[in-house]
Structure 1
């Protein structure tokens, strides 16, 4: 009978000392599992020491292990609950650092794209990158495609006349409807057309 009880105790302690945390298990969950396994190990007055030693040795994070083992005099006075408290604090710190790195890694590409867009931006009135839109010489010209004032046909994105304010003077007529014009000839035609309109209706 005595031999049977001793065998059971050894088996319980074997399970206790071989317990390892899973990859998704927190330090608190690991500590709870050790408490449950230790209930039938009969550690008696050595219970806290056994829990502390197994807890420290079973931690996955080597940095936390080194922290708990630093200083032999302090390590001897360290309790199971004290070790658990330190491990929880370091676990939260590590998780916070990882979350911050994730946020920075996610935000960095958008910041880069915005910067490139500003540096490589072109004037939305004529499409040329050599000046700002507020300094563009086509700021008061009419687009032959939409009838909008302030940009050229070559850079027009609106096909609906109601999208912008039309010029209330004489309508602008398109020329060479069937001809394909490059960007420069399109700009010059619109300038000439606008000047011709002003002369005709002045």
Structure 2
């Protein structure tokens, strides 16, 4: 037996589509020049257990092995292809929209698949073009296609325009993304410098505060707000908010006493001068 070209997987009606399997099998049989009288045997040999049971039930009371190819295909087509509603298929077609992330060419292919059972006839290309454009979401692709002349625009040209616009938008997004990263880096660096400057200024302010003496207690290393003596009363002036060691009244008092001492000393010196002058006169 000559080596076969290609291969056919086992058909399981629960997970596979009959029409796809049938077309692949038909091409496999023709490509390998299998005799027509053996086609049924090849089909049966490629059925899963559940699929074989289904075929057996469909052809009962006949035996599966006695059925001719045309009859077997007719039975299976009738089972897997129930009568369709053209309006239901058209409703799916007219309501289709391009999904997020779906490529332009994939959207066009999916739309063709939805039109298979719509029986559009000679209007197929026009309706495919219209649905292809109207099914696009608001964006550059749709805007560009809306500018075209409907009398001359074909489906293939509409797909090309949408692809070109999508590619241009993707390229522009890459460029804008790179520029945005550069801007973000520059903003980050400026913010970092400002943060360092603010930190240095805060440290300088803290150092200045630490070097200054507290107006409440006269000690260093803390501010007036954080001084534990800020609610104490002064023993000199009786006012709340400082200790006697920093009381301004005390300083004034000292200054007055010093002035009095100076005046007294000046008086004594004047008296001595008078006595000295009297002695000389005598």
Instruction: Choose 1 or 2 for highest CA Rg.
Output: 2
Give me the TM-score of the superposition, normalised by structure 1. Answer: 0.49
TM-score by length of 2: 0.36
